[in-house]
Chain A
Amino acid sequence: MAIVLFGLSHRSAPLEVRERLTFPSDGLAEALRRLTQLPLVREGMILSTCNRTELLAHSEGHASREGAEAIRRFLACERNFPPQELDRYCYRMAGRDAVHHLFRVAASLDSLVLGEAQILGQVKNAYQTAQRAGSIGAVLDPLLRRALGVAKKVRSETGIARHPLSVSSAAVSLARTIFEDLEGRRVLLIGAGKMGELAARALVERGADSVVITNRSAPRALELAQSFGGTVEPFERLLETLERFDIVISSTSAPEPILRFEDVARLIRARKNRPIFFIDIAVPRDIETRVNTIDNVYLYDLDDLAGVVSAGHAEREAAAKRAEDLVRKEVESFEAWVRHQDLSPIIVAVRDRLERLKSAELGRYRSRLAGLSDEQWRAVDELTDGLLNKILHHPIQALKGTAHRADGPERAQFFQEVFGLGEDCLSQDEAPSAAVPSEKTTKDDSTDLC
């Protein structure tokens, strides 16, 4: 596989460097065109996000070293960055390592936040841009499609993205454990703290209904309500209004609890025992801890939520381990697929060679077999064809079988030697594409000018 990858990420380079090396999305198509015009590069793709810039290319023949070098120079001159400094921040990979890296990136295993969802969309965008620009083809197109497939598989099979990593997402996932879905749930936000606001916003994003804000300072409540499209209730009527809400987020700076055990016990009777979820993010706490012992009342304070978050981290780590195994398997299966693809020119060549041998031999005997009728000639033709096919059947099956083996390339080489397929027949085989490099060499000068 002459697939090469060159790039940098949050793991290898600081933000100052990353921001200098990103590709603006509006110029990406042009950059891709210039990339594929490089002498050694057949196909190329650029993934550029705030955390990474990676260039992926299929370079000609087996020249992965030179291919990577060409991409390095390309990146340096595109982004106007001293090439020798690039080496301090960039990594380069080839073949299986490059495929492995790409799969890991798409599956969000290399992300700053393990399992975050954004990267999949970014890879998809990069793929679509490259597709539109016509910079990817027979090798990178299936590779990228496979990478997207692997990413989806990782998400669905390991559930890596399901585990909450923030207080707001913990609140959402708890709410969804109590209520089947958040559709139509009414949320009350007491106090105007930042974290409470974030939690309320997360709930609304998942379908929770109207948010009502109550705060000691009315103007601040009004301001917040406008940003939500919610309404304001006077703080003094808190206890009466509480009854209408399924989820209550509290983040006031009150020194004493504002909701006491007795209040909530009365509340749950008034609610006819419909469950209520209290999220107390205030320090000191706004709601008495004992409230959690009342049936159908669920109270989570900041520490409880932090516990959920740290469990979420641990779960993601565990899911990532399973995901790594999955990715490794996918890389192997992709490699086998590529080897299989590599075999088809050999098979064509061997058939071609035997076909030529056959016509040459038949030609030599033509004079001696002059007395044969047309029908008899056809029979001789079919006989030789049948014989050749029978002879070829087992060797070709054996050759196809090598695709899944580690020593596949050597075996394929041996196969070619046995049938006398030297360099000459391979070069013939590649004849149709030979026009492309020659065309490219003429353009070399223009790229060197840059």
Chain B
Amino acid sequence: MFMALVLLRVAVALYLLSAASAFLSLISKLRAAGTWTAILSSLGLLAHLGFLFRRGLELGGLPLRDYRDVVSLLCCAAVVVYLVSYLRTRLDVLGAVFLPLVLVLLFISRLLPAEVVPVSKDLERTFLDFHVVIAVLGAAALFLTFAASVMYLIQERRLKQKRAGASRAGLPSLEKCDSLGYFSLMWGFPLLTLTIVTGGIWTANFRQSPYLWERQETFAILAWVILGVIVAARFLKGWRGRKAAYLTIMAFAALLLRMIGVVF
């Protein structure tokens, strides 16, 4: 336990440093800061994976027992998504969106109760693990959708208020923000759908609940409905832009609330 906690603290410290470096890369014109953000967060990721591994050894299975574990895994996945998209786009601003959010989530997750969901059979355990892994992957993809929406809104504002032009201010073009958001949504939304379906099956089969979903799923359903509307409107009418970006951010917030176990 002690070793695992040390690893987690090291990971958090490295994430903190890389978040600081991400902001430095935005404020100053230091070229190297963006690279340092990526290097520091990769080191943080290694420590974080080490922590998950130790935790898995302790539990004798996937380290997914309580909400803390789920959020911890989500943060890991989000850092991976950040690193991959940074390497592909070289956008320093990504670090400044991802890393602070990861830190906040990690911090909140330590405040959550270490309450373990009682699971009776092996089959049920496997099914639940599958459900959680899908949920984490989907949420990690939507992290990128969220980051793209934030960048879109800032860039759009600059253009509409005639403050753009001289430079892109380290932000990608509107079109790039849009395509990044659309691409990640096309991964995130199907995964979220699958999460909700597997969640429903799990509730119905193993919990013998009379409801299709339980109260705590309200936020997840809300996120799914909003994203569904965005996807449908995009397909049918090419709908995009400012309002879609705001809605995406709302959906993402709802999803995060669900994942840290906030009950409506």
Contact = CB atoms under 8 A, between A and B. Distances in A.
Do the two chains bind? yes
B174 interface: yes
Interface in B205-243: 237-243
B168 interface: yes
Contact of A304 (B31, B162, B168, B172): B162
B166 A180 contact: no
A159 B168 CA distance: 12
A311 B173 contact: no
A332 B165 CA distance: 36
Contacts of A174: 159, 164-165
Interface in A127-172: 157, 159, 162-164, 170
A173 B240 contact: no
A272 B238 contact: yes
Interface stretch (A63-71, A89-97, A292-300): A292-300
B235 to A, nearest CB: 10
Contacts of A179: 173-175
A273 interface: yes
A173 B166 contact: yes
A177 B242 contact: no
Among the interface residues B155, B172, B174, which one has the most CB atoms of the partner chain A within 10 A? B174
Interface string B143-184: 000000000000100111010111110001111100100000
A344 to B, nearest CB: 35
B166 A308 contact: yes
A312 B160 contact: no
Interface in A295-321: 295-296, 298, 300, 304, 307-308, 311-312, 315
A298 B160 contact: yes
A298 B159 contact: yes
Contacts of B238: 271-274
B165 A312 contact: yes
A183 to B, nearest CB: 12
B160 A164 contact: no
A298 B174 CA distance: 11
A178 interface: yes
A437 interface: no
Given A177-B155, A178-B159, A298-B159, A311 B166 contact: yes
A274 B237 CA distance: 10
A298 B158 CA distance: 11
A275 interface: yes
B233 to A, nearest CB: 9
Given A178-B173, A179-B173, A295-B242, A272 B237 contact: yes
B162 A177 contact: no
Nearest to A314: B166
Contacts of A269: 237
Interface in B173-205: 173-176, 179
Contacts of A312: 165-166
Contact of B162 (A159, A162, A300): A300
Contacts of B160: 292, 298
A295 B239 CA distance: 10
A443 B237 CA distance: 83
A412 B164 CA distance: 55
A329 interface: no
A405 to B, nearest CB: 29
A315 B169 CA distance: 12
Nearest to B243: A295
Contacts of B167: 159, 162-163, 173, 315
A356 interface: no
A227 B240 CA distance: 37
A277 to B, nearest CB: 9
A351 interface: no
A300 B159 CA distance: 9
Nearest to A315: B166
A162 B165 CA distance: 10
A307 B163 CA distance: 9
Contacts of A173: 165-167
Contacts of B168: 176-177
Contacts of B31: 157
A273 B242 CA distance: 11
Contacts of A292: 160
Given A177-B174, A298-B160, A170 B165 contact: yes
B165 A296 contact: no
B164 A177 contact: yes
Given A275-B175, A298-B159, A164 B165 contact: yes
Contacts of B242: 295
Contacts of A275: 174-175, 241
A233 B31 CA distance: 47
Among the interface residues A170, A177, A300, which one has the most CB atoms of the partner chain B within 10 A? A177
A389 B173 CA distance: 64
Contacts of B175: 178-180, 275
Contact of A164 (B166, B179, B237, B243): B166
B166 A273 contact: no
A59 to B, nearest CB: 40
A180 B173 contact: yes
Contacts of A164: 165-166
B178 to A, nearest CB: 8
Given A164-B166, A296-B240, 10 more contacts: A163-B166, A163-B167, A174-B165, A178-B174, A179-B173, A269-B237, A273-B237, A273-B239, A275-B174, A295-B243
15 contacts: A162-B166, A170-B165, A174-B164, A179-B174, A272-B237, A273-B240, A273-B241, A298-B159, A304-B162, A307-B165, A308-B162, A311-B166, A312-B165, A315-B166, A315-B167
Question: What are the 3 closest A-B residue pairs judged by CB atoms, nearest first?
Answer: A272-B238, A308-B165, A295-B241
